[in-house]
Amino acid sequence: MGFVALVGVTFIYHQFSRVESFNWQHGLGLIGTLMLWNFIEYFVHIQLGHKKKKLSAMFYKRHTGDHHTFFTEQLLVPQSHKDWRVTLFPAWLVLVTGLISVGIGHIIALFSAPEWGYVFSAGLMMGYLAYEFFHFCDHLPDNHLLVQLPWIGHMRQLHRLHHRRELMQTKNFNLTFPLADWVMGTFYWESPKTYTKEAMQNKYSAK
């Protein structure tokens, strides 16, 4: 996680530093990019993570086969540092995200001022880092300080419901903000439940 954060934040800083005079129009462009990322996040999650396809078989196996088998609604928290390997994306993916962002940014710059390409590429990386950060928080213990923060706690509950067996293929695919879930009709909410230590231990024992 530290490597991903370092690379991602450095990339974002570098891209924004190339914008000579950031103005409100750039701000709107950044918001638009983050909204676009929200739908990318949604469709990648549902189309690659929850639908078995030949070209994305490895992604499907890692997500539905490993992640959703290992973590359930009652059992969200890794028991050791090794368990995080089925929670977060491989660290090298932040480099791929950066390359894709720069590539698209260059295409945008061909048809507009270069600053728009920098803003767009920075926005995509911000979305990627937000995804990783929120997913990291989703699997922290219930009493962790970050989980107590209102929006993180809200998104964590939505993700917990997504890990319910009967909901994982149809509900709550966003991790950062449920915009696409609302638009696509896949948003689902229930108030948090209390999961006893004994019940969670039984779940672990069953595994």
Per-residue pLDDT of 11-51, as tens digits, reads 999 999 999 889 999 999 999 999 999 999 999 999 999 98
pLDDT, greater one: 160 or 67:
160
* % pLDDT > 70, the chain: 93
> What's the domain range around 173?
2-206
Q: Are 5 and 131 in contact (CB under 8 A)?
A: no
Q: How many domains does the chain have?
A: 1
Cα separation, 101 vs 95, in Å, equals 10
Lowest-pLDDT range of 51-55, 88-92, 167-171, 200-204: 200-204
Helix (H), strand (E) at residue 111: helix 93-111
Q: Using an 8 Å Cβ cutoff, are 118 and 22 in contact?
A: no
Q: Which of 29, 16, 63 is nearest to 169 (CA)?
A: 63
Tokens of residue 34, six digits:
């983050």
3-state helix, strand, coil in the chain (%, to 5): 65, 0, 35
